[in-house]
Amino acid sequence: GGSGLSDSHPVASVQNNACRRAIKGNFDALPKADLPILMQWLASSVTIAKLAIKWQLMTMTRPNEAVGATFDEIDLGKKLWVIPAERMKRNREHIVPLTDELLELFENIQYINQGGIYLFESLDGNGHLHRESPRLALRKAKFNTTAHGLRSTASTILNESRKFREDVIEAQLSHADSDKVRSAYNRTDYLEERREMLQGWHDYLAQQEAKEWPRGRRSNPLFICFQSREKHCRRWRLDS
């Protein structure tokens, strides 16, 4: 069209995707081209739900694993988040390496934390954030994805990059290992390779957040959204 935007451009993708209602289903992956908008939305203000979404996106964990995170599970000395077996879908301890970016996010989480037990506190101060809160926040902002779908997005992008072995990506997603023997003894599942992979993922996310828009700030869908007077920004409004 006359806008000069290709189909692969983030703004074009928003026109295609973000105005649609999220399709019902648990695992709708965020379209890759919408990641810049998601990252800029996450950075635009601080809420506990947004911090939980960012933590989950960066660690590639499941929504309930992220919202239930406790300060006891964080080992700052070893730069690890150790999720106990009873909190994991497969009833097996899961270790997440913490990059400098995750440690910085952890500091921000700590800064607004009140109770000192859960990283992501419920608004009434009773327990942790509800597991549906991240999904509802994404839906309210009209992202065509679910909190669980962000895992699919990460997996797709990392697999397509061809920089990391599939086994390493699967281990980070804590998917079942078909080789039961290897599952039994390899509890740390490629920890250093996963640390390197997460660093690559976080570098990629930082690049997405820094993306410029073709007609400057005013063509950024987020800016247009926040400029609109509608309380919840019912749809992305794009200049034609």
Residues 6+ apart with CB under 8 A from 148: 26, 27, 62, 63, 135
Q: For the beta carbon of residue 111, count every other beta carbon within 10 angstroms.
A: 8
Is 180 tagged catalytic? no
148 is catalytic: yes
50, 94, 135, 151: which one is catalytic?
151
What Rg value do the Cα atoms of the chain yield, rounded? 18
Report which residue type is found at 35. Answer: L
In this structure, the dihedral spanned by the alpha carbons of residues 120, 154, 20 and 2, taken in order and rounded to 10 degrees, is: 130
Active-site position among 50, 54, 62, 194: 62
| C-alpha dihedral sign at 102, 103, 104, 109 | positive
Active site residue 135: no
Specify whether 62 is catalytic: yes
Which listed residue (89, 140, 211, 234) is catalytic?
89
Catalytic hit among 54, 148, 194, 202: 148
Residue 18 Ramachandran class (φ > 0 left, ψ -120 to 50 alpha, else beta): alpha
Write down the catalytic residue from 111, 185, 229, 231.
185
What DSSP state is assigned to residue 218? Answer: G
Q: Which of 79, 130, 131, 175 does the annotation list as catalytic?
A: 175
**Would you please indicate which residues are annotated as catalytic (active-site) residues?**
62, 89, 148, 151, 175, 185
